[in-house]
Structure 1
Amino acid sequence: MMLVSPSTAVIDIGSNSIKALVATRREDGRIVALEQRTLDTRIGTGLNADQPRLTAEAMAAGAAAVAELAAMCRAHEPNQLTVVATSAVRDSANGAEFAARIQSETGLELRILSGDEEARYIGRGLLCDPALAAWTDFHVFDLGGGSLECLSFKDREPVRAISLPLGCVRLTERLVADPAQPLSPEDDAKIRAYVSDALREAGLDFAPAGTPAVFCGGTVTTTRAIVAEARNLTLKETQARVTAELLAALLKKLGRLPLAERQQIPGLPARRADVMPTALATVLALAEFGGFEAFQHSFYNLRWGIASEALTLP
């Protein structure tokens, strides 16, 4: 189908990775990707500190990753190139210094999103997913390194959006005694209790029972990637419906392994291996709290929401 819209590009600086999307809008109104790329550049360490700060090494690696992704984006000659940052930069005392470095080294202005903005763009991005075109009432979750975004939709309109400091890097630093060792039952229990308490204290409920839930973000993407490798499939050939049973089985497998062995598992990026057990425990705590037996996984997320806004037809 003919592409009738100019392209737009988005670079998203997260706690665990930095990602880019170049997208355009087709004549039928659907937004499609021209190119996507992810660099596993973790800048979000020390998120559990009283006053988190980006290290000099993290800022250097982050700026280099943005420069690399910007070159990819610019090759498409987009009308607009937007760079945003979420929890890791938002919560850091020197986030403004990092933004200035991005400006100096790449010529790009870094927009640091609030938690509300982050949640809103995730919701808008989910509405771009053709697999969800017939969905009306549903919940949406996105787990990153620094935060967990929780949204609820009714008649395809957002009725709630909240950002909680429950990211997998943050909780690993706070609750896991030694990420290089197998996840102990005690640490697993601490993570689940901490997440459940935070959801309860935020006043969240996911009534009525049976309302479907969507999950985007690296945890479920990585789960599907591990399944794909084990079954000799491509990522998109795996089931988009990811059950709590599957997540629990994967946590049982990963949780008994030390970090060095987790890093050898096909489909699991080595730089995510230290926080993956915490991420899985967090999703399972959410599933139990909300009564979700499964999540519909979507690849559409914050970057798609920003692209959708930029490509809105007059």
Structure 2
Amino acid sequence: MKLAVIDLGTNTFHLIIAEQSASEIHVLYKTNQPVKLGENITANNSIIPAAFKRGITCLKEFRAELDKHDVDVIKATATSGVRSAKNGLDFVKAAKEQANIEIDIIDGDEEAQYIYEGVKWSGAIKGKSLIMDIGGGSTEFILCDENTLVWKKSYNIGAARLMQRFFKSDPINVTDQKAIISHLDEELKALKVICHEYKPKTLIGSAGAFETFAGMISPKIDISKISTTTISFPAYTELANNLIKATHAERANMKGLIPLRVDMIVMASLLTNYILNELDIKKIKLSTYDLKMGVLQSLKA
């Protein structure tokens, strides 16, 4: 049986096609496109026409790939960018009419659950951990260990959302950084309370920005061929500080930094630094398995 998952993120649309035989899942094809559906979404809480068009064009291309592979089961999930937009349902309707793809808008709780299942599948969870998935529109946090999901919550503090609201200088100045930290102080009160009680020892970054961190620190690692790896804490700290201090032009010339993340990586660095500092965590891991792998896991017969 062939299974497919489409993950409609605020920045990037992902497609993964896999084949299940017995209880094994073998990935046949995967791709992603930097659709930037959430471009200027904070202006009037709406998917702008250009982004709307890019999204539908991408889904038409995904549909062609699905037909080529003769997929049996398709699950398309939309997260913060669609669920928070005034015209999100219009996008869902257009996707069905123009690309014959039915989209399930999942809430933050479902999103965090899928992320947990994906990260658990990667084998990254060892002992008390905090999973962090930095999306464009939202960021999910999951407290867990190998056997139990203890607590989960989705916050509207994704990298694109933070960037559109706070990133007004180049390189980002102290005033903008303080504004972000003040915003995180206000937004993440519940997270800090429960983490101070649970005391996670490891921060597990789910794909996205953490793949960029790992790839820039260790260029010899083939991120596409691993499910999890440890990220050196001192190396991360040095990299994050360099990214924050750099201008847009300087970051654009850094090896391992894709164009989509040239500015958003600054938001991801500030957010990650905030979590590490506030919760006194000194161990970082990457899970390349994220929401889409959790969704894929749920489709297993």
Q: TM-score, normalised by structure 2?
A: 0.90
SS in 2 for 1:186: helix
Q: Give the Cα separation in 2 of the matches to 1:290 and 1:24.
A: 40
1:227 Cα deviation after fit: 2.7
SS in 1 for 2:194: coil
Pick aligned residue for 2:69 from 76, 89, 92: 76
1:30 Cα deviation after fit: 4.7
1:233 Cα deviation after fit: 4.6
> Deviations 1:63-95 (Å, cap 9, x if unpaired)?
111222232233332211121111011110000
Q: Give the Cα separation in 1 of the matches to 2:92 and 2:289.
A: 26
Question: CA, structure 1 residues 228+138, in 2 after alignment: closer, same or farther (shift >3 Å)?
Answer: closer
SS in 2 for 1:54: coil
1:149 counterpart residue number: 140
> Deviations 1:159-214 (Å, cap 9, x if unpaired)?
21100111011111122213xx2121332233233223321155642244353331
2:149 counterpart residue number: 158
Conservation of the 8 A alpha-carbon contact between 2:124 and 2:286: no
Q: Name the aligned partner's letter for residue 136 of structure 2.
A: G
Conservation of the 8 A alpha-carbon contact between 1:228 and 1:237: no
2:245 counterpart residue number: 256
Correspondence 1:15 to 2:3: no
SS in 2 for 1:105: helix
> Deviations 1:93-127 (Å, cap 9, x if unpaired)?
00011111111211111111111111111111122
Conservation of the 8 A alpha-carbon contact between 2:3 and 2:20: no
Pick aligned residue for 2:214 from 213, 224, 248: 224
Correspondence 1:39 to 2:33: yes
SS in 2 for 1:84: strand
Correspondence 1:109 to 2:102: yes
SS in 2 for 1:128: helix
Pick aligned residue for 1:301 from 290, 295, 300: 290
Conservation of the 8 A alpha-carbon contact between 1:196 and 1:286: no
1:121 counterpart residue number: 114
Pick aligned residue for 1:48 from 32, 38, 42: 42
- Structure 1 alignment gaps of length 5 or more: 1-5
SS in 1 for 2:281: coil
Conservation of the 8 A alpha-carbon contact between 2:59 and 2:101: no
1:3 counterpart residue number: none
SS in 2 for 1:48: helix
Conservation of the 8 A alpha-carbon contact between 1:44 and 1:169: yes
- Structure 2 alignment gaps of length 5 or more: none
Deviating more after overlay: 257-266 vs 81-90 = 257-266
| Identity of matched residues, % | 22
> Deviations 1:211-265 (Å, cap 9, x if unpaired)?
3331103111111222344xx5533689821244333322322223322332222
SS in 2 for 1:89: helix
SS in 2 for 1:108: coil
1:17 Cα deviation after fit: 0.7
Correspondence 1:90 to 2:55: no
1:151 Cα deviation after fit: 0.9
Conservation of the 8 A alpha-carbon contact between 2:217 and 2:239: no
Q: What is the aligned residue count?
A: 299
1:154 Cα deviation after fit: 4.4
Q: Give the Cα separation in 1 of the matches to 2:278 and 2:184.
A: 9
2:163 counterpart residue number: 172
Conservation of the 8 A alpha-carbon contact between 1:142 and 1:148: yes
Question: CA, structure 1 residues 31+126, in 2 after alignment: closer, same or farther (shift >3 Å)?
Answer: farther
1:282 counterpart residue number: 271
1:42 Cα deviation after fit: 0.8
Q: Give the Cα separation in 2 of the matches to 1:7 and 1:129.
A: 21
Correspondence 1:273 to 2:266: no
CA-atom RMSD in angstroms: 2.3
Q: Give the Cα separation in 1 of the matches to 2:26 and 2:112.
A: 21
Correspondence 1:24 to 2:28: no
SS in 1 for 2:257: coil
1:35 Cα deviation after fit: 1.9
SS in 2 for 1:286: helix
Question: CA, structure 1 residues 272+82, in 2 after alignment: closer, same or farther (shift >3 Å)?
Answer: same
Q: Name the aligned partner's letter for residue 122 of structure 2.
A: D
